[in-house]
Amino acid sequence: MQLIDNVKKLPFVGSSYETRLQKLDIYTIDDLINHIPSRYVDFSNVVDIKDTKLGDVVTVKGEIVFLKNQYTHSGKRMQLASVKDKTGELKIFWFNQPFLLKTLYPGTKVSLSGKVSDFGGQLALVSPEYEKFEKKESLHTGALIPVYPETKGVTSKWLRSKIKYALENTKGDIDEFLPRSLIEKESLVHIKRAYTDIHFPKDIDTAEKSRKRLAFNEFLFLHLSTIYKKIEWKKRHVIYKMNVDRRNVENNFIKKLPFTLTDSQKRSIEEILKDLGKNVPMNRLLEGDVGSGKTVVAAAGAFATFLNGYQTAIMAPTQILAEQHYKTLKMLFKEHKVRVKLITAAGVKADEGVPDIIVGTHSLIHKTVNFRNVAYVVIDEQHRFGVEQRAHLTKKVGEKLKNPHSLTMTATPIPRTIALTLYGDLDLSILDELPKGRKPIKTIIVSKKKREDAYGWIKKMIKEECAQVFVICPLIDESEREGMEQVKAATEEYERLKNIFDKFDLGLLHGKQKAEEKNKIISDFRKKKYDILVSTPVIEVGIDIPNATIMVIETAERFGLAQLHQLRGRVGRGESKSYCLLFSERSTGKSRKRLEALSKTNSGFKLAELDLQIRGPGEVFGIKQHGFTNFKAANWSDTKLLKTTKDIALDVIEKPKKFKSLYKYLEKKRQIAN
């Protein structure tokens, strides 16, 4: 068996299990052995039955005396068993597992692991892990047992047996690819040992050493991938050479703006204009906090492109955001002869003549768009587009090895060390300050007891201050597309609030509405036809209502810091003081820490650092849900290992002869991926 083989090569794995495993991103044997345990259960305390004590987690080994089905008073079926060893007998209980009668019949020797409980006045193991006890090595009991991320129909017990088989039958295909000198210098475990010990460790220390080795691999491969992308990009040429007159942009665009740019905006514009004058196409990321003014920075590049007689294409993830960009650009260029065109599924809005700037959603890819000479492409909220979509747009307006300049933008602040790794193939510009005049948003955590008081205060603000209010309904699932369940929750909340705010006008917005309907609701809200807009998180990006000064987020603990910060950024865009009310029913735990962090700072970058500390491994400030690298073993908070592997990756590029085995391994990984 080889690592490259499909999981169907495993015994008793057919099409049904293949489909289930795909939900865990497991397609090949290599994917399977890289499916790392999320935690371990310590069943290593093997005791005689007479030594079992209430509350202890133990493993006992003995012989089944009897096993029978028995019904509870509520009608549930349970399996009652007794196991004995040379020192005594112990009762065992399972629930709704009638198949056990065919497996664990009297006389069967078993190993059972679980917590000793009081069941009807006697000591017992309730729903323990079990396996038939022979001379073979224990897999599910009597040791440190791995627990894996699971899906319906795929349990940790099933995964343990398949991973064990895969490791035993692919050992010859797992070769060490790092130089011995590097392994010794960094105190790394041999790769074969790492795979064995991460899945079946003798103790936690062994497991952690193996996790470090696999984390080292993941960081190293990520660094190498981004470095290679950057090298390949630098081989490209611009499709249209531009002569950028920075003084012209300064005098005729920047100085005529109705507001003053921040220092970070000026710095970012300077970096973009410098790139636009090069022969190698720009490939830059503009990372800015909510409301930091990314659009005007991108517009400065569009103005320089216009002065050269070329077009700009701007792609946004939603029609709402595309409409917002269109309106902003029309305002920014109202004193210039810059023609702006909007193309979405709802139709086309355009000035007469050939457009200088074309704004759109996916329509820019799929519709027949009149791209004449696009020299500059801007992709907003780039994490919401697939790699193929971005490449398709660039390809559509470019040629092989000839590309337009490319600027991608994101409002998701990410700690700098992580941003430089995730976007290692892009040059980075950061907007880390808000425009002058933007007032900080007062963020308040509202407990269940204070809810009615909060509603009373909102009514007063609407009456006396003419405030407009967003109410965001709870997040039901973490998928980016809204399901009907979420729409239903928003509709129910809308009906409930209509009774509470019966003297006010309410609107309802969700992702299942047609584009025209959504736009009309937003337009009516902007025109103050609604006092309160009840919405799903569809408003996270792109809605700019200066008169909206209150943001209410229901069951705020269900949201990540990134999304809470994005939602909060929908208010505070006018001159009036703005508020964000976090309705929460929890008073402790990590989710509460997130809410408290949000209430103490308005800086997305500070929140990103806090999120990293609070959450640790896994999702960091929402990046997991946006399609970024999903690590199995690595932890973004391990900045030391992140830096070490970056230095080694650069060494790999500079000294290929020293890393021959690694290059061979990378080629094998490419074959597996394809």
- Residues near 382 by beta carbon (within 8 Å), at least 6 away in sequence: 285, 390, 408, 409, 410
Give the span between the Cα atoms of 340 and 73, in whole angstroms: 73
Which H/E stretch holds residue 642?
Answer: helix 639-654
Query: What residues form DSSP beta bridges with 341?
Result: 350, 358
Give the span between the Cα atoms of 213 and 220, in whole angstroms: 11
Q: What is the pLDDT of residue 506?
A: 95
Give the span between the Cα atoms of 582 and 442, in whole angstroms: 11
Whole-model pTM: value is 0.79
Q: What is the pLDDT of residue 384?
A: 53
Supply the DSSP symbol for 280.
S
Q: What is the 3-state secondary structure (H, E, C) of 176-189?
A: CCCCHHHHHHCCCC
638 exposure class (CB count in 10 Å sphere: 0-12, 13-18, 19+): middle
Residue range 16-45, pLDDT digits in tens: 999 999 999 999 999 999 999 999 999 999
Q: Residue 573: how many CB atoms within 10 A of its CB?
A: 20
Q: Chain-wide mean pLDDT for the chain? A: 87
- Rg over alpha carbons for the chain, rounded to the nearest Å, is 30
Parallel, antiparallel or unpaired: strands 144-147 and 39-42? antiparallel
**Residue that the structure tokens 């011995």 belong to:** 180
Structure token pair of residue 501: 């705010």
Backbone angles phi, psi at 530, to 5 degrees: -115, 140
Compare 368 and 239 and report the one with higher pLDDT.
239
Structure token pair of residue 375: 């020299």
Residue 507: half-sphere exposure toward Cβ, Cα within 13 Å: 23
Ramachandran assignment for 107, one of left (phi > 0), alpha (psi -120 to 50 degrees), beta (any other): left
pLDDT at 478 over 70: no
- Residues near 63 by beta carbon (within 8 Å), at least 6 away in sequence: 83, 84, 85, 107, 108, 109, 110
CA of residue 141 relative to chain centroid, distance: 34
Q: What is the pLDDT of residue 369?
A: 64
Q: Residue 10: how many CB atoms within 10 A of its CB?
A: 21
Query: What residues form DSSP beta bridges with 145?
Result: 41
Q: Going along 483-522, which residue ranges are E strands?
A: 506-509
Q: What is the pLDDT of residue 135?
A: 61
Query: Dihedral sign, CA of 161, 162, 163, 165?
Result: positive
Give the span between the Cα atoms of 92 and 263, in whole angstroms: 70
8 A C-beta contact, residue 421 and residue 226: yes
Among the residue ranges 99-103, 538-542, 553-557, the one predicted with the least confidence is 538-542
- CA distances to 282, 309, 663 from 325, in Å: 21, 21, 45
Give the span between the Cα atoms of 162 and 8, in whole angstroms: 11
8 A C-beta contact, residue 169 and residue 1: yes
Among the residue ranges 169-173, 302-306, 346-350, 442-446, the one predicted with the least confidence is 346-350
Specify the amino acid at residue 294. K
- Residues near 118 by beta carbon (within 8 Å), at least 6 away in sequence: 54, 124
- Residues near 574 by beta carbon (within 8 Å), at least 6 away in sequence: 546, 547, 548, 549
Query: What residues form DSSP beta bridges with 237?
Result: 402
Which H/E stretch holds residue 300?
Answer: helix 294-307
Give the span between the Cα atoms of 188 and 194, in whole angstroms: 9
Q: What is the 3-state secondary structure (H, E, C) of 386-425?
A: CHHHHHHHHHHCCECCEECEEEEEECCCCCHHHHHHHCCC
User: Can you count the helices (H) and strands (E) in the chain?
Assistant: 22, 24
Q: What is the pLDDT of residue 621?
A: 44
pLDDT at 206 over 60: yes
8 A C-beta contact, residue 393 and residue 224: no
Q: What is the pLDDT of residue 618?
A: 43
Residue range 486-518, pLDDT digits in tens: 777 888 899 999 999 999 999 999 878 887 888
- Percent of the chain at pLDDT exceeding 70: 91
Q: What is the pLDDT of residue 608?
A: 78
Residue 178: half-sphere exposure toward Cβ, Cα within 13 Å: 23
Among the residue ranges 166-170, 506-510, 635-639, the one predicted with the least confidence is 635-639
Residue range 400-453, pLDDT digits in tens: 678 899 999 988 777 777 888 878 888 999 998 877 777 889 999 999 899 999
Average pLDDT on 111-135 reads: 90
Helix (H, G, I), strand (E, B) or coil at 460: helix
pLDDT class for 672, splitting at 50, 70, 90?
confident
What domains sit in the chain, N to C, each tagged with a CATH number?
Answer: 45-142 (2.40.50.140), 179-233+645-674 (no CATH), 240-431 (3.40.50.300), 442-601 (3.40.50.300)
pLDDT at 628 over 60: no
pLDDT at 475 over 70: no
Residue 198: closest CA among 40, 44, 45, 41: 40
Length of the chain measured in residues: 674
Helix (H, G, I), strand (E, B) or coil at 343: strand
pLDDT at 300 over 50: yes
Compare 382 and 568 and report the one with higher pLDDT.
568
70 exposure class (CB count in 10 Å sphere: 0-12, 13-18, 19+): exposed
Residue range 339-353, pLDDT digits in tens: 999 988 777 888 788
Supply the DSSP symbol for 333.
T
Residue 287: closest CA among 262, 268, 304: 268
Q: What is the pLDDT of residue 45?
A: 93
- Percent of the chain at pLDDT exceeding 90: 59
Average pLDDT on 544-564 reads: 87
Parallel, antiparallel or unpaired: strands 427-431 and 283-288? parallel
Q: What is the pLDDT of residue 670?
A: 81
- Residues near 505 by beta carbon (within 8 Å), at least 6 away in sequence: 529, 530, 531, 532
8 A C-beta contact, residue 47 and residue 70: no
Q: Which of 224-233, 263-272, 352-361 has the highest mean pLDDT?
A: 263-272
